[in-house]
Amino acid sequence: MAKVQRFASVSRTNGDAGYESYKSHHACPFEGVNEMIKACNLQNYSIYYWDGLLFSYYEYVGDDYEADMAKMAADPTTQEWWAAVVPQMRPFGADGPWVDMEELYHLD
């Protein structure tokens, strides 16, 4: 079994309308989005919400994270998906909709 790498990041929704749209989109992602995520070796992927905050958690089980993320970014369906959902978000930083968090604790 490949070593599991965990990734967590934070963002926020763009007002109440952003939350409602983000929620409905993620209840039924575009066809092919989930399949590409799996093909890029991500698993156990969850997104949570509270009062404007979004929190994302997933595990990477492949051998080359950068290459798999580049593969995902090059996928036309994923690009359509991001174009649809990113406007529903309001980033914390300037580097994109999500900001990486620091792991302070882990227990398998």
Q: Mask: binding to its own copies, 30-59, rule CB under 8 A, as x and -? A: ----x--xx---xxxxxxxxxx-xxx-x--
Q: Does 101 sit near its own copies (CB under 8 A)? A: yes
Contact region for its own copies (CB under 8 A) — 23-31, 61-69, 75-83? 23-31
Residues 18-49, buried b or exposed e (16+ Cβ, 10 A)? bbebbeeeeeebeeebeebbeebbbeeeeeee
- The residues in 68-87 that bind its own copies, with binding defined as CB under 8 A, are none
